[in-house]
Chains A and B, each alone.
Chain A
Amino acid sequence: MATENNKHLFGSGHTACAGCGQAIAARLVVDVAGANTIIANNTGCLEVFSTAYPQSAWGVPWIHSLFENAAAVASGIEAGLKYLGIKDKINVIAQAGDGGTADIGLQALSGMWERGHDILYICYDNEAYENTGIQRSGLTPYGASTTTTPVGDFSLLGNLRPKKPMPEIAVAHGVVYVATASVGYPRDIQTKIKKAVSLKGPKYIQVHVPCPLGWRHDPQITYDIGKLAVETGLYPLIEYENGKLANVRKLTKIKPVEEYLKFQGRFKHILSSPELLKQIQAIADYNIERYGLRAEFANPPPTQPISVQPKNREEERK
């Protein structure tokens, strides 16, 4: 429970896994948004690890209804506050994981955006249904091994599809402020939340939150993993304001994707395949070009093919 001794609005004592990126991001979000905030939360890890009755980690009014309806519940809260004439004093935040946002919750979210509610929507993107045990979602990256996109003799890739472009889907709705952020850059999260709550209308921020359990990385390197995703160009940090790409986080030292992938069990099979590695590098290269991530003084792109010793899969199985 939030107590007077606890200056955070998202208190310690919740039951998230060690190294959970979502717990770190959730605290940053609510602390910046402040005490005059009401949160509607979809079902998912965050809801489960923060509100196991009779305890709650939340120091602000918080409501959970179902898996896919936080955007609609928040719409009702916002409408209620408007009716009461107190909306201007209160931030309404709807938040969910990537499955609750990009898959099952997309319809309600689309409605919330299109109706223009004054709500900040946060997607904590840990790139799979981690709460139910690491199943693929629409935001699972290309090539990731999950429990529903496992790698096997007949499926060498893992997840066959790229991430659904949620920021662009938000922009297409006329959302006033759209941004991506990463737990690897806490100050950047704070800046973006501050900006978002200062603006009227619908806002969307997608925060990359590493999941040690699902991504199979050491819980001690959550921040580093978050940073590496950005530094390789696989998770560009971008801001759209009123439909225009307003800011991107420039990369001064662009790292090869291998630097990010090699710490994660979900990409182990990629490292042993130069072809797959090339495909994932191509995604990063595309992002770098598309969003203009390269700083003027950045290192040149790797011209040499990335040298990774391909493992003999037959041998590996023995």
Chain B
Amino acid sequence: MRELLEGSQAVAEAVRLCRPGVISAYPITPQTHIVEELASMVAQGKLKAEFVNVESEHSAASVVLGSVATGVRSFTATSSQGLLLMAEVVFNIAGMRLPVVMTCANRSISAPLNIWNDHQDAITVRDSGWIQMHAETIQEALDLHIQAYRIGEAPRIMLPVIVNMDGFILTHGLEVVDVPTQEQVDNFLPGYKPLYKLDVENPLTLGPLVGPDYYMEARFAIQETHKDVLELIPLVQGEFQKAFGRPSGGLIEPYRIDDAEKVIVAMGSVCGTIKDVVDALRAKGKKVGCLRVVTYRPFPAAEICRALKNVPRVAVLEKAVSLGSYSPLLSEIRSVFSGKKKSPVISGFVIGLGGRDISLDSIKEVFKRLTAKPVSEEFIDLKPELLQEKI
């Protein structure tokens, strides 16, 4: 059914359709509407789930760790400081191979305190072992949650998934979305059948102490599984398209890059703006395009290489910085072409930190600055007058 929904409502609808048995909730802007909406569904009897109002994000993550370990599909959501507070548990959930699904309403990291959108939160847990996908639209955010359970709970995967959606831009924006029926989702997403769980009939010890003789193999296994995830995601995307008629998700999404001379690589909702600029410039005869990285972890290096290898100039446009080094996505995309005979000139631009508005002109500026000479860490839309001020 097509409905005008706020992004958070759309995600809550998707989560409801996935039938989680346990939801843990802790408020943080701009995530809060999602768990509020789910609480309302539980209160109205539209969703049968145990709703646990925890005392911190650390416990929000710990509760779903415990409930998934008990064999029950579970959900939580967070943002920014919340993700950082639960970082320890985030790493632990992946290491314990528990397929939690969590929404991250992407937001900047303090200080200075700022509640608006960028990607610094999600980027900061990139090494945790979680699968991470970025939605471009509210429809895709809805769809990715349904796919996330299917991917994470696959017996050969058993890994948690973060669905990233840009804070405010997607969580609080309104969009006409197609909400699938329960029957459609039930057909696409079977119930969770854990490979292992806390069961008095078959007592297992989960989370033991592991010495140097075994630790590396456990970590290597996760690394290997991420290769399987790279194979599985396109299959799930294909099945999703067959079932729901939309090509949501996948590893990457190329947009008008076949003959492009300049391509911007980015993640999340900014790609909508980039695509608009691409269309406008194409109309003027400029050969430009956009490559959207949908799946950030596992990193689809081969697909990115294939997509960009014939493009002369590539701009990596990021809402995050690795302070003191290059931005994370820039480093990774450069590493894709390291040692390759044919490589684009790859430049890096930082944009939209802490919710700084990204206009069509901002994107045009990126295309303009993308010359034959590579640059790194160029900040777009900086205000020079503020840099003169003593803070």
Q: A83 contacts B52, CB within 8 Å?
A: no
Q: For B209, list chain A residues within 8 Å (CB).
A: 47-48, 51-53, 64
Q: A65 contacts B65, CB within 8 Å?
A: yes
Known interface pairs A53-B209, A72-B54, A80-B21. Does A2 touch B203 (Cβ–Cβ under 8 Å)?
yes
Q: For A181, list chain B residues within 8 Å (CB).
A: none
* CB of B317, distance to nearest CB on chain A (Å): 36
Contact residues, B37-95 vs A (CB, 8 A): 48-50, 52-56, 58-59, 62-72, 74, 88-89, 92
Q: Is B214 interfacial (CB 8 A cutoff)?
A: yes
- Which of B55, B65, B66, B70 has the most chain A CB atoms closer than 10 A to its own CB? B66
Q: For A72, list chain B residues within 8 Å (CB).
A: 54, 58-59, 62-63, 66
* CB of A17, distance to nearest CB on chain B (Å): 16
Chain B 186-216: CB-based contact to A (< 8 A → 1; otherwise 0): 0000000000001110111111111100100
Of B53, B66, B200, B210, which one neighbours A36 at CB under 8 angstroms?
B200
Q: Is A82 interfacial (CB 8 A cutoff)?
A: yes
- CA distance in complex: A199, B388 (Å): 66
Q: For B67, list chain A residues within 8 Å (CB).
A: 76-77, 79-80, 83
- CA distance in complex: A44, B214 (Å): 20
* CB of A214, distance to nearest CB on chain B (Å): 19
- CA distance in complex: A36, B67 (Å): 17
Q: For B70, list chain A residues within 8 Å (CB).
A: 38, 76-77, 80-81, 84
Q: Is A60 interfacial (CB 8 A cutoff)?
A: yes
Q: Is B24 interfacial (CB 8 A cutoff)?
A: yes
Output the nearest chain A residue to B91 by Cβ-Cβ distance.
Answer: A66
Q: Is A231 interfacial (CB 8 A cutoff)?
A: no
- CA distance in complex: A196, B96 (Å): 30
Contact residues, A44-62 vs B (CB, 8 A): 47-48, 51-54, 56, 58-62
Q: A111 contacts B72, CB within 8 Å?
A: no
Q: How many residues of A contact B (CB 8 A)?
A: 45
Q: For A62, list chain B residues within 8 Å (CB).
A: 198, 203-206
Q: B89 contacts A61, CB within 8 Å?
A: no
* CB of A268, distance to nearest CB on chain B (Å): 33
Known interface pairs A2-B203, A58-B203. Does A80 touch B22 (Cβ–Cβ under 8 Å)?
yes
* CB of A79, distance to nearest CB on chain B (Å): 4
Of B49, B50, B88, B206, which one neighbours A63 at CB under 8 angstroms?
B206
Known interface pairs A83-B21, A111-B54, A115-B53. Does A76 touch B205 (Cβ–Cβ under 8 Å)?
no
Output the nearest chain A residue to B69 by Cβ-Cβ distance.
Answer: A63
* CB of B48, distance to nearest CB on chain A (Å): 8
Q: For B56, list chain A residues within 8 Å (CB).
A: 107-108, 111
Q: B198 contacts A77, CB within 8 Å?
A: yes
- CA distance in complex: A192, B74 (Å): 34
- CA distance in complex: A65, B62 (Å): 8
* CB of A278, distance to nearest CB on chain B (Å): 41
Output the nearest chain B residue to A111 by Cβ-Cβ distance.
Answer: B55
Binding site for A on B (CB under 8 A): 21-22, 24, 48-50, 52-56, 58-59, 62-72, 74, 88-89, 92, 96, 198-200, 202-211, 214
Binding site for B on A (CB under 8 A): 2, 35-38, 40, 47-48, 51-54, 56, 58-66, 68-69, 71-84, 90, 107-108, 110-111, 114-115
